[in-house]
Amino acid sequence: MEKDKLNNLRHTLAHLLAAAVGEIYKFDKIKLTLGPSIDNGFYYDIDFCGEKVADSDLKKIEDRMRKILPKWTEFEHKEISKEEATNFFKNEYKVELINEIADRGEKITVYTCGGFTDLCRGGHLENPSKEINPDSFKLDRVAGAYWRGDEKNKMLTRIYGLAFENKEELDAYLKQREEAEKRDHKKLGKELDLFTFSDLVGAGLPLFTPNGTILRDLLDGFVWELRKAAGYVKVDIPHITKKELYETSGHWEKFKDDLFKINTREEHVFAMKPMNCPHHTQIYNRKQWSYKELPQAYAETTKVYRDEQTGELGGLSRVRSITQDDAHVFCRLNQSGEEMRKIYKIVKTFYGSFGFILKPRLSLHDPKNMQAYLGTEEVWQNSENALRKIIEENGEKAIEALGEAAFYGPKIDFLAKDAIGRDHQVATIQLDMNMPERFNLYCINEKGEQERIVMVHAAIMGSIERFLAVLIEHLAGNFPLWLSPVQVKVIPVRENHNEYAKEIFNLLKENNIRVELDDEEANLGGKVRDAKNNKLPYWIVIGDKEIEANKVTLESRDAGQLGQMSKEELLSKFLEEIKNKK
- What are the binding residues for Zn(2+)? 277, 328, 457
Going by their DSSP bridges, the two strands 450-452 and 423-432 should be labelled as unpaired
Phi/psi for 483 (5° steps) reads -105, -20
Residue ranges of the binding site: 277, 328, 457
Q: Note if 411 is an active site residue.
A: yes
526: helix, strand or coil: helix
- For residue 295, is the peptide bond before it cis, meaning its omega torsion is within 30 degrees of 0? yes
Select which of 118, 185, 324, 418 is catalytic. Answer: 324
127: helix, strand or coil: coil
Select which of 64, 185, 306, 489 is catalytic. Answer: 306
Name the β-bridge partners of 117. 112
Mutual angle of helices 333-352 and 210-229, in 10-degree steps: 140
Of 218, 214, 16, 253, the C-alpha closest to 116 is 16
Under DSSP, the state recorded for 291 is G
Of 158, 162, 159, 137, the C-alpha closest to 65 is 137
Select which of 328, 424, 474, 497 is catalytic. Answer: 328
Select which of 457, 466, 497, 527 is catalytic. Answer: 457
Residue 449, CA atoms < 13 Å, CB-side half-sphere: 3
Select which of 326, 413, 418, 432 is catalytic. Answer: 326
Burial class (CB in 10 A: 0-12, 13-18, 19+), 149: exposed
Q: Note if 328 is an active site residue.
A: yes
Q: Note if 280 is an active site residue.
A: no
563: helix, strand or coil: strand
Q: For residue 403, how many other CB atoms are within 10 A of its CB?
A: 13
Q: Note if 277 is an active site residue.
A: yes
Of 104, 114, 117, the C-alpha closest to 78 is 117
Residue 215, CA atoms < 13 Å, CB-side half-sphere: 25
- Please report, as a single letter, which amino acid is at residue 444: I
- Please report, as a single letter, which amino acid is at residue 351: Y
Q: Note if 55 is an active site residue.
A: no
3 state SS for 403-415: CCCECCECEEEEE
Select which of 185, 279, 361, 411 is catalytic. Answer: 411
Select which of 113, 120, 277, 331 is catalytic. Answer: 277
Q: Note if 309 is an active site residue.
A: no
Q: Note if 424 is an active site residue.
A: no
Torsion angle in degrees (nearest 10) through CA of 75, 79, 81, 86: 20
335: helix, strand or coil: helix
Q: Are 309 and 277 in contact (CB under 8 A)?
A: no
Active site residues: 277, 306, 324, 326, 328, 411, 457
